[in-house]
Amino acid sequence: MKFFNFHTHQFTNNPDILELVNQYPQDFDVSIPYYSVGVHPWYIVEDRIDADLQIIEEKLKEHNCLAIGECGLDKRIEIPFEQQILAFEKQLALAEKYKKPVVIHCVAAFQEVIAIKKKMKISVPMIIHGFSKNNNQIANQLIKEGFYISFGKYLLKNPDLKTVFQNIPNDRFFLETDTIEENIQQVYEIASKYKEFKNNELQNIISVNYKNVFQSH
């Protein structure tokens, strides 16, 4: 692979790109080669959660299921926070059982996500996707607590994120497109510029990070 797209909702089938496509238990496309599967906090349905988790557990046994998620916590939605925590913790337990990395959706709940990681003694890699906070303190704390951070939309749209991204250690980040129209090559371009790398240097760094996170588990 030349490019690794850590988190996307659109499968492009480009041979140069390994795409980790986000899938939902109730809306699953078996033709997608590599995917993550999870219950997003926005889509928690209380009386369906056990059925969703059962589907997720079945998918986690497949070799082309690279991760669980996206799952996590979001303080800006109507779904009760306690319900979100319960769904998140159950998915983390599955991640530990099957030794799969976790793609995390986190909005205004970083301290809670960190606390749950500690409480549950999670040993698999946990990656915060779509990082948007222009806040070195939060980014540094996440790195210190063992998280990886993935950048995409906000790296392209928010120049203020440049300094935060520049300060992330090279062995702790990924790049993604999520739902944006721009392609992963454009995200790599701006990341190369900010980190002052040649394109192939950045490709090598992310390739190593990919191996460390996804092939050692």
Cα–Cα distance measured from residue 113 to residue 197, given in angstroms and rounded to the nearest whole number: 32
Residue 217, annotated as binding a ligand: no
Q: What are phi and psi of 169, to 5 degrees?
A: -55, 145
Question: Which H or E run contains 37?
Answer: strand 35-37
Cα–Cα distance measured from residue 167 to residue 118, given in angstroms and rounded to the nearest whole number: 24
CA nearest neighbour of 122 among 139, 146, 152? 146
Residue 196, annotated as binding a ligand: no
Q: Dihedral through CA 15, CA 20, CA 22, CA 24, nearest 10?
A: 100
Four-residue CA torsion sign, 115, 118, 119, 120: positive
| Amino acid at site 80 | P
Residue 129, annotated as binding a ligand: yes
CA nearest neighbour of 174 among 191, 196, 156? 191
CA nearest neighbour of 164 among 176, 151, 177? 151
Q: How far is CA 144 from the centre of its chain?
A: 17
Residue 105, annotated as binding a ligand: yes
Q: Mark the binding-site residues, compressed into ranges.
A: 70, 105, 129, 178
Q: Mark the binding-site residues for a divalent metal cation, compressed into ranges.
A: 70, 105, 129, 178
